[in-house]
Amino acid sequence: MTLMEQTRPAISPEGVSAAASSQGFLAVVGVGIKLAAQTSLEAKAQIEAADRVFYLVTDPGTEYWLQTLNPTSESLQPFYDGRDSRLTTYLDITDYLLDHVRQGLHVCAVFYGHPGIFVFPSHRAVARARSEGFQAVMLPGISAEDCLFADLGIDPARKGCQTFEATDFLIFHRTFDPRNALVLWQVGVLGEVGYKISLSPQKLAVLVERLLEAYPPDHPVVVYEAARYPVCDPLIIRTTLAGLDVSMISSITTLYIPPLSQRKPDLEVAARLGIPADFIKRRFEMSDEEIERLGLD
Ligand SMILES: C[S@@+](CC[C@H](N)C(=O)[O-])C[C@H]1O[C@@H](n2cnc3c(N)ncnc32)[C@H](O)[C@@H]1O
């Protein structure tokens, strides 16, 4: 069976009832960050085979590429016009996708990055389609955070990593441990419920103030933008918390804050897990550079 023939899953995806309609079908896919280069084969097959493709992407190159894969491709960008809140836009996009699924069409909704990361209408559309008895799948894509780990050379599993949407992080006082790595998304639209993308120094100050409760002012911070075109390099600005400035931040900035120094290991827990104390002690005493040099990372 070719990828093209697999477009409608033979086995119902998780959460689809046995009575699922064999007609309308929704595939929500991600195309990664870098133009055409980060789309999985299964996502590409869905785009090519769909009766209708709808997309929300950030650059004209990807739009053109989608048109070449499937000439029905239509931008969802007009849903941002004339609406003053992002929530209204997201709800309207969900309705629009569902309207086409109800017509018995194979619909493919394309989002940049991973379609399930900070994309409200994608999860909602899949849940709604399934609740109405249609088959619906979400296929993962390469997210901005995946690119960040690769470009900055970070293994999130090594010291732990917490990831938050910046406004949500502030408003709900999200609990985090500064001895883990911290990733903050959507810093460029801090506190923005509409579509303004310029970040004011006053808003950035609220974030910095909160972070200064956990880190010293000279703690390193990385302002990061993954490359969107194969010929480009990522934008990586290394600064400190006190040195952060709005001029460094755009609508696609993600902020990476490395962990504070290593926590003390719990030797009792290590013993219960059967790990020799010497091994843990030696590892704890080693600097990050030494661990990397010995390839123990
Ligand atoms: C609505 S979210 C979309 C995330 C996307 N679904 C993903 O999986 O990467 C928008 C946020 O993603 C991050 N982002 C998007 N493009 C990026 C890029 N090229 N480099 C770094 N971060 C990016 C930024 O934090 C931005 O504010």
Domains of the chain by residue range: 4-142, 145-257, 264-297
Task: Confirm if 79 and 92 have CB atoms less than 8 A apart.
Answer: yes
SS3 at position 56: strand
How far apart are the CA of 296 and the centre of ligand 1, in A?
Answer: 31
Q: Which two tokens stand for residue 254?
A: 């993600």
Question: What's the pLDDT score for residue 267?
Answer: 81
What mean pLDDT is predicted for residues 181-192?
95
Neighbour count for residue 52 (Cβ, 10 Å):
17
- Cα gap 232→226, rounded to integer Å: 9
- Which residues sit opposite 224 in a β-bridge? 236, 254
pLDDT tens figures, 119-154: 999 999 999 999 999 999 999 999 999 999 999 999
Strands 161-165 and 181-185, how do they pair?
Answer: parallel
* Residue bearing the CA closest to ligand 1, atom 21: 225
* Residue bearing the CA closest to ligand 1, atom 17: 252
Question: What's the pLDDT score for residue 275?
Answer: 87
SS3 at position 231: coil
The residues that are catalytic are 86, 90, 112
Let me know the angle formed at the C-alpha of 184 by 183 and 186, rounded to the nearest 5 degrees: 145
pLDDT tens figures, 63-122: 999 999 999 999 999 998 888 788 889 999 999 999 999 999 999 999 999 999 999 999
Which CATH superfamily does the domain covering 145-257 fall into?
Tetrapyrrole methylase, C-terminal domain (3.30.950.10)
Does the domain at 4-142 match CATH 3.40.1010.10? Answer given as yes
CA of 112: how far to CAs of 56, 153, 286, in Å?
Answer: 7, 22, 40
- Cα gap 6→42, rounded to integer Å: 9
Which residues have C-beta within 8 Å of that of residue 163, sequence separation ≥ 6?
145, 182, 183, 184, 185
Check if 4-142 and 145-257 are the same fold: no
Establish whether residue 255 lines the binding site of ligand 1, counting it when its CB lies within 6 angstroms of any ligand atom: no
Q: Which two tokens stand for residue 136?
A: 């619906």
Question: From the alpha carbon of 185, which atom of ligand 1 is closest?
Answer: 25
Look at residues 51, 179, 187, 33 and name the one whose alpha carbon lies nearest to residue 111.
33
Task: Confirm if 102 and 23 have CB atoms less than 8 A apart.
Answer: no
